Structures are given as structure tokens and as C-alpha cells.
């Protein structure tokens, strides 16, 4: 029997315990072993949870018990989650986590500690909820050159934008619903500011190219300023408003950004609604792939945690999984200098726009305003080229 400890008995932690019971038969079959929750560490009183007999308040108790081989960290926040994870790895216990804040900040150090101690540090649940995206990067895509990743990586913001678009909900009402449904972070600032998405794209980028970029250095715009006019703009351009994280391969540091975008209707990311997440990968010879599933919520995320527990039990000796290193040698390329595609609304006639030093595709002409798509251009060059006309809205486009 494999004995585990759960750190943090909130939405995800309790979901893991519940799913281990409910799916015990499948798990036994897949892992060749039963999994037993021996300890639950939480600062709250767990009376009535069914786990009161296993509740502990001190990490030391878990560290000192050699029968516990896997620690599932689902505490949220970087501390004490990081200290507890490091201590567990040093005590020879594998760690599985859903905590993207810890992975994005300390992942390289924790992976190193895992390797030195012959155990695992796995974090499938930290990106894309129930989508097995890290397993895909670590296995199936390992032999491919990854050129670009575009992701809708935050369930809360996608839920809010969908409700605003489909039902005319206000930002505040939609956020309250996302909180009630258990999608949002304890402090939803990380969701709506784009910080959560930013951490996730840094983790994906680290898996794709081996080095972790500090998420604090990445250009990141959230959805707090999004209003009905942005939805209308996206619709006029032939697309949908989404918060998209993009990373592109480059000779130097990968080029990363997070911002609200017009996702053009032809792009499959445009149909990703509600709490769903999706990751579109341009994988060289393999072509484009898209991974899709529930990006937040109790059971999809708990399921991802359990998939990592199974990965440990099935491949005990492979302690080199999900590996990346710290990126000490380069910061990501400046956003303004990186080439992206843009949807732009300008007050101009076609003659004036034709005189500008750029190539554009006309999307719509209405009331003396032009909606145009301008591809593969740095934002600074875009504004320089449009110097003579009034730009009333400009948003990154995903074509």
C-alpha cells in the first residue's frame, strides 16, 4: 500500500481524497497498488470532514513518518508550501503539486532537490486543470521542435469573458459566480490581473525549452479593463475576446506575453468557452496540436494530481521528469519589440491608410472607421507606421 499525505484540505485537497476513494478500483488497476491518505495537514478544524482522525497541524509529523512516500501539496501561495515541499523532498518523499505559484518561482530548485534525493517533483495540476498537458510535453512532444504555444490558461477569466459576451453579465457578477463555482483563487487578483496565466505560460515555456523565465519579467495585462466595447471590437473584427498567453521560440530568450486578444473565428481557440482551457502548440513537423479540457475546478484539478501520483507509482525510477532549469542568462524579449498580429480600429479612410508604410487586411468599414488586421509587426513599429491616423483601439490578434 502507498501512503500519502495531503497538505491543504481546501477545494483541490479534499477533491483528491474524494477521488481516491471513488476511483479506488481504477487507481488500483493502473498503479498496481492501493493508495491510502495517512495524514491531512490543514490549519482549519477538520471536524466533520471524515478525515479528522488523520488531521495533523505539524509538517514534522509527516516528515518523520517513513511510511509516507508521497506528499500532495495543494496549499496555495508560496509559503509555507515551498518550505514544506523542499523538506519533504529532502526527507526522501516525492511531491505532487497543483501550486503554480511555487512551481513558477521555485520549480528549478525543487526539481534539483528531487533529483538529488532520488524522488519526484511533479506538477501536472499546476497548468490547465484537468488537461494532461505537461505529460504531453514531457512524453509525446519530447522529440519535437516547439515553435509557439498559445494558451487560454485561466478558467476564471475565460468564464468571466464568456458570461460577459453570452449573457451580458457584469464583470463583478461573473467573477462572483466563478468564485462560487470554486474556479477562482482565494485572492482572485491573480486571476483577473493575468498573473496566474503568466505563471502557467512560464511553466509551459520551461517544459518546452528547458529554462524557466521569471514570470515577474513577462509582459502581462489582465482583463480588469475589459468592457462591452472590447467585446464589440472583437466581434467587428470577426473574432472573440479572450485572455491569451503566447510564447514563441527564439534564438535568445523565448518571447512571452499575456494579454486580452481578439481570437479570430477561424482559430480553434475562439470556441473555448466558460471554465474550459486550451493550449495550441505549433510543434514543428508534427504540425499544430490543440489540448482542451476543464481548466479549473475541484475534480478536474484533483484528477491531474492523481495522474501524477500514478506516474510516480508506474515509473518509480524515472526521477528526471518535468525537468527544467533556472533561466539565469536572459530576460524575455521586450513586448513592444516582439512581432505579433494586431487588430486595430482607426479613424481614417482607405486612401489615408494605403499611404501608410504597412500592409493590412481590411476586416470592416463602418461610420468612417476601419477595422484592420496587421500581421507580424512589433507594436512600436505599428504605432510608428500609423503615425498620421487616430488609433482608437488596438489589441493583439490570434489568427
Which spans of this chain sit near ligand HSE (rule: CB under 6 A)? Answer: 129, 154-156, 183-185, 191, 196, 295-296
Cβ-based nearer residue to ligand HSE, 280 or 298: 298
Nearer to ligand HSE among residue 215 and residue 333 (C-beta): 215
**C-beta closer to ligand HSE: residue 294 or 370:** 294
Least Å from the CB of residue 14 to ligand HSE: 15
Give the three cell numbers for residue 82.
515551498
Interatomic CA distance for residues 305 and 302, integer angstroms: 5
The length of the chain in residues reads 399
Is residue 205 within 8 Å of residue 247, measured between CB atoms? Answer: yes
For the CB of residue 395, give the shortest distance to ligand HSE in the complex, in Å. 22
| CA 356 – CA 312 distance, rounded (Å) | 58
C-alpha distances in angstroms, 302 versus 6, 7, 390?
12, 13, 49
Please identify, using beta-carbon distances, which residue of 129 and 132 lies nearer to ligand HSE: 129
Closest CB 135 distance from ligand HSE, rounded Å: 17
Q: Are 152 and 398 in contact (CB under 8 A)?
A: no
When the beta carbons of 156 and 259 are compared against ligand HSE, the nearer one is 156
| Beta carbon of residue 274, minimum distance to ligand HSE (angstroms, whole number) | 11
Contact call for residues 39 and 68 (beta carbons, < 8 A): yes
Q: Residue 126 to residues 50, 213, 368: CA-CA distances in angstroms?
A: 26, 16, 47
Q: Of the residues 93, 100, 200, 298, which is catalytic?
A: 200
Question: Does residue 184 contact residue 178 with C-beta atoms inside 8 Å?
Answer: yes
Whether residue 90 lies in the annotated active site: no
Distance CA 297, CA 18 (A): 14
CB of 294 to ligand HSE, least distance (A): 9
**Alpha-helix residue ranges (DSSP H) falling in 297-349:** 298-314
Residues annotated as catalytic are 200
Amino acid at each position: 500500500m502507498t501512503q500519502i499525505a495531503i497538505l491543504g484540505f481546501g477545494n483541490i485537497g479534499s477533491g483528491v481524497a474524494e477521488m481516491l476513494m471513488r476511483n479506488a478500483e481504477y487507481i488500483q488497476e493502473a498503479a498496481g497498488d492501493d493508495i491510502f491518505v495517512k495524514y491531512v495537514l490543514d490549519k482549519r478544524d477538520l471536524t466533520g470532514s471524515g478525515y479528522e482522525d488523520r488531521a495533523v497541524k505539524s509538517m514534522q509529523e509527516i516528515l518523520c513518518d517513513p511510511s509516507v512516500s508521497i506528499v500532495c501539496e495543494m496549499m496555495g501561495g508560496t509559503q509555507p508550501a515551498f518550505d514544506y515541499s523542499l523538506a519533504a523532498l529532502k526527507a526522501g518523499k516525492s511531491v505532487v503539486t497543483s501550486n503554480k505559484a511555487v512551481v513558477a518561482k521555485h520549480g528549478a530548485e525543487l526539481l534539483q532537490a528531487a533529483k538529488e534525493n532520488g524522488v519526484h517533483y511533479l506538477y501536472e495540476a499546476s497548468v490547465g486543470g484537468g488537461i494532461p498537458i505537461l505529460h504531453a510535453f514531457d512524453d509525446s512532444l519530447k522529440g519535437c521542435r516547439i515553435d509557439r504555444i498559445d494558451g487560454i490558461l485561466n478558467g476564471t477569466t475565460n468564464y468571466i469573458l464568456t458570461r460577459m459576451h453570452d449573457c451580458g453579465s457584469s464583470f463583478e457578477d461573473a467573477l462572483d459566480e466563478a468564485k462560487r463555482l470554486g474556479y477562482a483563487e482565494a485572492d482572485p487578483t491573480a486571476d483577473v490581473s493575468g498573473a496566474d496565466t503568466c505563471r502557467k505560460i512560464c511553466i509551459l515555456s520551461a517544459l518546452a525549452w528547458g529554462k524557466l523565465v521569471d514570470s515577474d519579467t513577462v509582459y502581462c495585462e489582465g482583463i480588469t479593463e475589459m468592457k462591452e466595447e472590447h467585446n464589440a471590437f472583437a466581434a467587428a473584427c470577426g473574432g472573440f475576446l479572450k485572455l491569451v498567453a503566447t510564447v514563441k521560440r527564439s534564438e535568445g530568450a523565448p518571447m512571452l506575453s499575456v494579454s486580452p486578444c481578439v481570437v479570430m473565428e477561424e482559430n480553434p481557440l475562439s470556441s473555448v468557452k466558460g471554465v474550459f482551457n486550451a493550449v495550441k502548440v505549433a510543434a514543428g513537423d508534427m504540425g499544430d496540436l490543440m489540448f482542451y479540457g476543464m481548466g479549473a475546478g475541484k475534480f478536474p484539478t484533483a484528477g491531474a494530481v492523481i495522474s501524477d501520483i500514478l506516474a510516480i507509482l508506474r515509473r518509480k525510477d524515472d526521477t528526471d521528469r518535468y525537468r527544467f532549469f533556472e533561466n539565469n542568462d536572459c530576460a524575455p524579449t521586450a513586448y513592444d519589440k516582439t512581432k505579433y498580429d494586431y487588430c486595430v480600429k482607426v479613424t481614417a479612410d482607405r486612401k489615408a491608410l494605403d499611404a501608410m508604410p504597412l500592409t493590412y487586411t481590411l476586416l470592416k468599414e463602418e461610420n468612417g472607421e476601419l477595422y484592420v488586421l496587421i500581421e507580424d509587426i512589433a507594436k512600436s513599429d505599428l504605432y510608428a507606421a500609423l503615425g498620421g491616423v487616430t488609433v482608437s483601439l488596438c489589441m493583439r490578434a490570434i489568427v
